[in-house]
Amino acid sequence: QVQLVESGGGSVQPGGSLRLSCAASGRTLSSYTVGWFRQAPGKEREFVAAIRRSGGTTHYADSVKGRFAISRDNAKNTVNLQMNNLTPEDTAVYYCAADQHLILSSIRQSREYDYWGQGTQVTVSS
């Protein structure tokens, strides 16, 4: 079983940047597909980005493509989400999730991930 802890959230002005990290303990995170999801108040949890366990292929929601980048740091057993050019619409609690057995068609489905972190708040406001 893998335990996940997110960090790096905070408050930033529009156009600013943040880097979120998802740190794992108990297992090597490189053997998991890892996704980032977010949930804004009153809205459903939505897919943001994912990186696959095999080959490291990355996937992004259209709303963040070109602004966000997901990557692995295997030495630190983390998966990072670099977020640039943030807008108020990016305000949400961000969660990382992991699963070892996801198929490609399920990678954007939060219900398919077995392990979740507690979330970190990102607020974009002027």
DSSP string for residues in 37-82: EEE-TTS--EEEEEE-SSTT-EEE-TTTTTTEEEEEETTTTEEEEE
For the stretch 82-91, pLDDT in tens is 999 999 999 9
| CA dist 117 → 46, 76, 94, 111, 113 (Å) | 15, 17, 9, 14, 11
Helix (H), strand (E) at residue 86: none
* Residue 55 confidence class, pLDDT cut points 50, 70, 90: confident
Longest distance between any two alpha carbons in the chain, whole Å? 41
pLDDT score of 54: 74
User: How far is the CA of 38 from the CAs of 1, 72, 107, in angstroms?
Assistant: 23, 19, 15
DSSP 126: -
Predicted local distance difference test score (pLDDT) of residue 1: 86
Confidence (pLDDT) at 6? 98
Res 32 pLDDT > 90 = yes
| Distance separating alpha carbons of residues 53 and 55, to the nearest angstrom | 6
Helix (H, G, I), strand (E, B) or coil at 88: helix
Q: What percent of the chain has pLDDT over 70?
A: 100
Contacts of 115 (CB under 8 A, 6+ apart): 1, 2, 3, 4, 32, 97, 98, 99
Q: Give the model's pLDDT for residue 64.
A: 98
Q: Residue 67 pLDDT > 90, yes or no?
A: yes
Banded pLDDT at 26 (limits 50, 70, 90): confident
